[in-house]
Amino acid sequence: MLVRLLLTLGAVLLLLWPQRADAQETTGVLYVTATIQRAAVHIDSEPVGEVPVTRYLPPGTYSVRVTADGMDPFVRRVEVKPNLTTSVTAELYAGGGTAEFVSTPSGASVTIDGKEVGKTPIRVASIAEGDHSYSLSLTGFETIEGTLTQRKGGNPLTKHVLESSRGRFAVTSKPAGAEVWLDGASVGKTPLQLSDVPPGQHTVLLISPGYAAVVRHIDTSDGSKGEVTATLSDAGTTLKVNTGFDDAIVRIDGATVSQGGDAELLLSRGEYLLTITSAEGGGEVSQTLEVPLTGTLLYKVDWKGGPALVELAPLVQRWTFWAALGGSAAAAGVVSAGVALALQPEPLPDGDVVVTLP
């Protein structure tokens, strides 16, 4: 019985022994000391204590950083090999203080107090004592903002893992509360944060009662964050549309601005896609509008001829208005030729009577 037990135990040990040897081969020792006591040690930008430091690590290449106040940082890349001890002695020399920035991924632009100083990883010298604002930005990732405190002779290390901006959208307006339409769909009110928005070309429309609508075209094809900031104005161009049917739906850049009959909307300057749909009219009509800074745009839908969108001249540009105005002005003697020339009426249709203004 005892013999059988010993044989079984021996077989188990033989099975386990190679695994233990393999496990030992997958670790090495990193030993770090310095020429100054109590110097702080970072391995791959993570704090691990003060010298001397001993760490068992998987084989590979590591960044070793050793710092002490009043000394320039010591930074080296070292290789840890299996079953071996790698020793590092940091020789520290007097310095005036630095600030280091590390990011994952690297290559982020670093600004300190609004001034760009380089890309991560970076060590910045000659930073004044006190609090400083900083930011890290990289295309396709969320911008990081923060504050660091620089002590006399200090060497602060700032490390950030950047979050992807892919699919994110941020929309703000002044005043807040504007309805946000993204690619023709209402998605909420400002201020608004969205996620999982597919990369590509996007149209954002902001609508708020009493203010001119605002449209923005955003390209996030590179994976960047879509950001829209708009200041709404109560001045703009008035758009009026005579749809001709009570079931008509009027859309601006895919956003529904009117359901049932005619539409009136205040627009800021820009380019818009106007679309009118009517089941009673039997179709849909679309047209791109170039909207000026101020004024009035009048349109009606001709459902019988296509359908088609027909632009109407404002009242001051119609020949009938000028004919009536001319007759009354002749009697009253109050209309000047300068006003008539400045307002530039449309050419008269054939067969109309020309009224000469005094």
DSSP β-ladder status, 40-43 and 46-50 = antiparallel
Q: Specify the pLDDT at position 2.
A: 52
Report H helices in the chain: 2-25, 319-332, 337-343
Q: Specify the pLDDT at position 53.
A: 97
Catalogue all structural domains in the chain, each as residue range(s) with its CATH number. Answer: 35-95 (2.60.40.1120), 100-161 (no CATH), 166-232 (2.60.40.10), 235-312 (2.60.40), 316-358 (no CATH)
Q: Give the three-state DSSP class for 18.
A: helix
Q: Specify the pLDDT at position 260.
A: 80
Q: Give the three-state DSSP class for 191.
A: coil
Question: How many other C-beta atoms can be found within 10 angstroms of the C-beta atom of residue 340?
Answer: 17
Q: Specify the pLDDT at position 261.
A: 81
Residues of the chain with pLDDT under 70: 1-25, 314-358
Distance of CA 156 to the CA centre of its chain: 29
DSSP letters for 314-351? PGGG-HHHHHHHHHHHHHHT---HHHHHHH-PPPPPTT
| Torsion angles phi and psi, residue 339, rounded to 5 | -65, -45
- pLDDT tens digit sequence for 267-319: 998 889 999 999 988 889 999 999 999 999 999 999 887 788 898 876 544 44
